[in-house]
Structure 1
Amino acid sequence: MTLSYLLDENVDLAYQIQLLKRNSSLVVFAVGDPGMPSKSTLDPEILCWCEEQNLVLVTNNRASMPIHLADHIAQGRHVPGIFILNSNLSMGRMIDELIIIAETALDDEYQDVITYLPVTK
């Protein structure tokens, strides 16, 4: 299984460029891209979009995303997963993590959970 990603608007667009440069078979969208949610879309709406489009959200939002996810699940909804980037690690390390995860994830492995990167040692 290969995961598809949606980068929230606060994630540097260099992530999208570098992910696709390093693995052109990945599906990586960003909030604000054509056909994606527009910038300033509220987080609960982003989670609904991710659920409907089967996209894993990549974000820096450590503060409110756990609350939004709990509310989303309480409504009987689901998300393929949420990955929170680690600001203490390099962009290169985070990109490596996202590629490894996308290429090796099992079906529903990250569903309805927030995963704080890195997952590999």
Structure 2
Amino acid sequence: MLALAADENFNNDIVRGLLRRNPDLNIVRLQDIGLSGADDPAVLEWAAQEGRVLLTHDASTITYYAYERTRAGKPMPGV
């Protein structure tokens, strides 16, 4: 099953809508697990360790760190 993580700036209406359509969806919000305010590299590292695709609206900075992870050969479930 697909595992997802919504970053703290991701629209919670979308998260609620996804859960309404599929109550069994494996999704966590970063603010619910103590990662509120974590920097992008830390969030991506956690997502990789957990095997979760990161949902974010932050196309300006998170993509830089995601590309850095892939260039370094580090695991990257997706953004």
Q: TM-score, normalised by structure 2?
A: 0.88
Cα 1:37/1:49, change in 2 over 3 Å: farther
> 5+ residue gaps in structure 1?
83-121
> Structure 1 residues 10 and 41, CA, compared in 2 at 3 Å: closer, same or farther?
same
**1:70 aligned partner:** 67
Q: CA RMSD in A?
A: 1.3
TM-score, scaled to structure 1? 0.60
Partners of 1:47 and 1:18 lie apart in 2 by: 24
| Bigger helix fraction | 2
Deviation at 1:76, TM superposition (A): 2.4
User: In terms of Rg, which structure is larger?
Assistant: 1
% identical aligned pairs: 25
CA distance in 2, matches of 1:18, 1:49: 24
1:55 pairs with 2:65: no
Larger RCO (alpha carbons 8 Å, 6+ apart): 2
For the Cα contact (< 8 Å) 1:16–1:29, is it kept in 2?
no
